[in-house]
Amino acid sequence: MELEFLRWLREAIPPSPRIPLGIGDDAALLTETTGKQTVVTTDMLMDGVDFRLIDHLPVHLGRKALAVNLSDLAAMGARPVAAFVSFALPSLGRDEQELPRKLIEGLLPLAAEFECPIAGGDTNSWLGPLVISITVIGEVDVGQAWLRSGARPGDGILVTGAFGGSIRGRHLTFTPRVREALQLQSMGVEVHAAIDVSDGLSLDLSRICDASGCGARLDLSTIPIHPDTEPKRLSPDGSLTVYLTDKSPLEAALSDGEDFELILAVPPAVAAELLRTQPLGVPLTQIGWFTAERGLTQQLPDGSVLPLAPRGYEH
Amino acid sequence: MELEFLRWLREAIPPSPRIPLGIGDDAALLTETTGKQTVVTTDMLMDGVDFRLIDHLPVHLGRKALAVNLSDLAAMGARPVAAFVSFALPSLGRDEQELPRKLIEGLLPLAAEFECPIAGGDTNSWLGPLVISITVIGEVDVGQAWLRSGARPGDGILVTGAFGGSIRGRHLTFTPRVREALQLQSMGVEVHAAIDVSDGLSLDLSRICDASGCGARLDLSTIPIHPDTEPKRLSPDGSLTVYLTDKSPLEAALSDGEDFELILAVPPAVAAELLRTQPLGVPLTQIGWFTAERGLTQQLPDGSVLPLAPRGYEH
């Protein structure tokens, strides 16, 4: 199976000047650019844990497996260079190449959009469930990567996009914020820290705080809540309003996860300028600021402050 | 589980000047070296396909999963820089951290020996069998990587070490030929092509031939056959001689695979010099030469030539 699939795959991948040697040798060769650091991220998705092959289309799964890695690169402010895609493929009792081709077909448009061609991988068959393991290599100017650990008290907390309810479909179809990250980099915007929201807005924010040795105070009235969190009217006459979960829209925005938006720590003046000019195609919103005191807090309209427990998907 | 395991892992990994940012952020950062190309290889090993958790010790499996990747780097003549290690871990019904720690403990000595620290990965638990997916990043001087495609008619076929019978244990304990590859590179030895023997000496040789558009002629009397291919005397008094397989030692050497020795294509004068000086710690042997005619052939003592079918593990 592997040989024929690899022939198909090699033909499906456009040539790249950054990849003098791609699929087919013992390893791939990538051209380095002077003044850059290599950025590497890897994610493994497994049937029954991260998705259900019986509920999700392979084209969507292939796309998502690449997209989550690209989102990690965006959170570093890094440019994608190449992807390495490995599969453990279950026997579906029909054409063996059908599943890996669908997975690849799902991710190829995203790879093309963000100039991140497949440069290698490992395709295997077995009797277990589907496993997709993708490693993405990127690059960033030396010293310009956005770490989780650089947030400073007083920095504004900016977020791209809106949060909550991704389970209704966005968790498969989201666009990783690579373009926005590269735009901020090319504008020379001073970003002290960043993370992408995979496990939950409040939980991932708390990870920046933990890495930076600071806290964060949120004004919950400013959280951009995605329409996907809205209660669905399920009855034909519209009389029955049902929440799909027991979470309120705000709770969903704070804890659902898989939004794959960026949280950015930027100095107050920079935050103000970004909010005014809105230079990205996607809205930027300030939801609070980093504090010297550890822990997450929420500031109420009357100015009082209460603790806020970070919530989301704990591994 | 993941958090506590990651804490343990971060403490188990020595700091590296090449890895300014390792485990714990959205991605890792690697320092690039001027004049180098990045080399990337990845291998996925699965319980029931590449190993059996019921027959093999996790420390051995962790070591092997890294070693096969390092062997791929050696086959490129490349220096290891960093490893990215992902697991899908089955529940063994006991301490959840026991299996990943044993896997890591198995590979740490090899990572230290070849200066290839773990810089990231993805640790997951599920109800499926164990999957280990490792990506190794290396580097090589620009234009100095050994491809499969550079062999020329007349080049000598040199091999490191000896072949066959790796199933008796060497497939788990082999030392990837990283040191030997780097020594040849530092000596400036002209290597036209290389591959590591994972699937079988004759099969992997045929892959160099296919990639290079040439053939190869072997003098079978020169193949270095490993003692592991020798018949085992199984009865206490030594009277009963049993082959563990139905292969002769020569057949085993040509087709067993998992020797993880190197096949090198070098110009005749270079081959002669290497054979005379034997500069590596491991023996170098010439087993034939590349030919303009395609296909593998064997040359008999009387000078006649017969076809030789490449054999080994076909994926």
| Residues 6 or more apart whose Cβ sits within 8 Å of residue A64 | A45, A51, A171, A172
B59, two tokens: 């420390």
In sequence order, what are the beta bridge partners of B133? B44, B86
pLDDT band at B304 (very low <50, low <70, confident <90, very high): very high
How confident is the model over B307-312, as a mean pLDDT? 94
Of B313, B263, B272, whose CA–CA distance to B290 is shortest? B263
Please tell me the predicted confidence (pLDDT) of residue B240: 58
Query: What value does the mean pLDDT of chain B take?
Result: 93
Which is nearest to A218 in space by CA: A110, A154, A274, A296?
Answer: A296
- The residue type found at A179 is R
The pair of structure tokens assigned to B69 is: 């990747």
Which residues in chain A have their CB less than 8 angstroms from residue B3's CB? 315
Q: What per-residue confidence (pLDDT) applies to B3?
A: 79
Q: Is the pLDDT of residue B283 over 70?
A: yes
Q: At residue A244, does pLDDT exceed 60?
A: no
The residue-averaged pLDDT of B232-250 equals: 67
pLDDT interval class at A235 (50, 70, 90): low
How many whole angstroms separate alpha carbon A284 and alpha carbon A264?
10
Could B124 and A46 be called an inter-chain contact, meaning their C-beta atoms sit closer than 8 Å? yes
Confidence band, pLDDT 50/70/90 cuts, at residue B95: confident
3-state secondary structure of B171: helix
What is the per-residue pLDDT across B203-212, written as a single tens digit (0 to 9) for each? 999 999 999 9
Query: Region A294-305: what's the mean pLDDT?
Result: 93
pLDDT band at B220 (very low <50, low <70, confident <90, very high): very high
Mean pLDDT of A98-115: 96
Q: ∠A274-A280-A285 over CA atoms, to 5°?
A: 50
Touching check for A91 and chain B: CB below 8 Å?
Answer: no
Q: Which two tokens stand for residue B157?
A: 């076929």
For residues B255 and B312, the answer to whether their CB atoms sit within 8 Å is yes
The CA distance from A191 to the nearest CA of chain B, in Å, is 15
Taking CA–CA distances from B145, the nearest residue in chain A reads A29
CA atoms of B80 and B22, how far apart (whole Å)? 15
pLDDT of A72-97, one tens digit each?
A: 999 999 999 999 999 999 987 778 88
* CB within 8 Å of B215: residues ≥ 6 apart: B209, B290, B291, B292, B293, B294, B295, B296, B297
- Phi/psi for B183 (5° steps) reads -65, -45
In this prediction, residue B301 has a pLDDT band, given cuts at 50, 70 and 90, of: confident
By CA distance, what is A204's nearest residue in B? Answer: B26
Q: How many CA atoms lie within 13 A of B126 on its CB side?
A: 23
Each residue's pLDDT tens digit, B134-182: 999 999 999 999 999 999 999 999 999 999 999 999 999 999 999 999 9
Alpha helices in chain B (DSSP H): 2-12, 58-75, 98-113, 170-173, 178-186, 201-212, 249-255, 268-277
Q: What share of chain B is helix, strand, coil (3-state, %, to 5)?
A: 30, 30, 40
Q: Using one digit for the tens of pLDDT, what is the confidence trace for A148-191?
A: 999 999 999 999 999 999 999 999 999 999 999 999 999 999 99
pTM of the shown model: 0.94
Q: What is the mean pLDDT of residues A21-25?
A: 93
Distances (CA, A) of B177 to A114, B77, B80, B264, B283: 36, 9, 12, 12, 12
**B102-146 pLDDT per residue, tens:** 999 999 999 999 999 999 999 999 999 999 999 999 999 999 999
So what's the pLDDT on residue B264? 98
What's the pLDDT at A111?
97
pLDDT digits 0-9 by tens, B20-78: 999 999 999 999 989 999 999 999 999 999 999 999 999 999 999 999 999 999 999 99
Taking the C-alpha atoms of residue A82 and residue A138, their distance in angstroms, rounded to an integer, is 7
Q: Is the pLDDT of residue A67 over 60?
A: yes
Report pLDDT for A92. 75
For range A242-253, the mean pLDDT:
79
Q: CA torsion B216→B220→B226→B228, rounded to 10°?
A: 110
Q: Which of residues 24-83 of B touch A (CB under 8 A)?
A: 24-32, 34, 36-44, 46-49, 72-73, 75-76, 78, 82
Q: Best interface-test mutation with A: which of B38, B69, B313 has the largest number of A CBs within 10 A?
A: B38
